[in-house]
Amino acid sequence: MAVSPEFKQDLLGTIPNLRAFAVSLTQNADKADDLVQETLVKAWDKHESFQMGTNLKAWLFTILRNEFYSQMRKRGREVQDSDGIMTERMAVHPSQHGLLDLKDFRWALEQLPQDQREAIILIGASGFSYEEAAEICGCAVGTIKSRVSRARNRLQEILKISGEADYGPDAISAQVMGSSAA
């Protein structure tokens, strides 16, 4: 069966979101675009397995994510090559004054473990429900919830934002107890 024009149109429409997710995963614009390209080819090849009327964006995100992890596994140690970059990044500390800069935020996001970063992106930015994110990541809803929550706490810690929603005991005890509270 040939790919329908609607399917093609929908694919095109999802590209901006796929690229944003790919950048979040790879932390690299070139790699992200290669990943999106692979995703589009895969999606095109198996378009018949997509059920019309279901969530195309979620379907594509799943393909992209699987592709990303299978590439990571194939490359194996090559990924460790980023260690140097990581150390370099660590040396650049975000400014601790004034309003939170987007550059600082990007830096903080890069410090998160992969699984937490993708969870917080899917939920907090891509607009998926916990159920959808769980399906995309092939894990339980509770796992996504806990990853999102850990990611948020870690970001707050890195960016030195005290508990926003709660000005109460939590923020204070966190200060008193220091890192042992985390």
Partner 1 sequence: MTKPNPEAEKAARRRNGSADILGPNSEIGRKLKQYYDDLVSEEIPDRFSQLLRQLEQTEPAQKKG
Residue 120 found at the interface with partner 1 (CB under 8 A) = yes
**Interaction with partner 1 in 58-77: which residues (CB under 8 A)?**
none
Q: Which is nearer to partner 1, 78 or 125 (CB)?
A: 125
14 scored as a contact of partner 1 (CB under 8 A): no
CB-CB contact of 45 with 39 (8 Å): no
Nearer to partner 1, 88 or 164 (CB): 164
Work out the angle between the directed axes of helices 56-75 and 29-45 (0-180°, nearest 10). 120
Q: Binding to partner 1 by residue 95, rule CB under 8 A?
A: no
- Contact between 182 and partner 1 by CB under 8 A: the answer reads no
Q: Indicate whether 102 belongs to the interface with partner 1 (CB under 8 A).
A: yes
Residues that bind partner 1 (CB under 8 A): 1-3, 8, 11-12, 15-17, 19-20, 23-24, 33, 36-37, 40-41, 44-45, 100, 102, 105-106, 109, 120-121, 123-131, 145, 148-149, 152, 155-156, 159, 161, 164-165
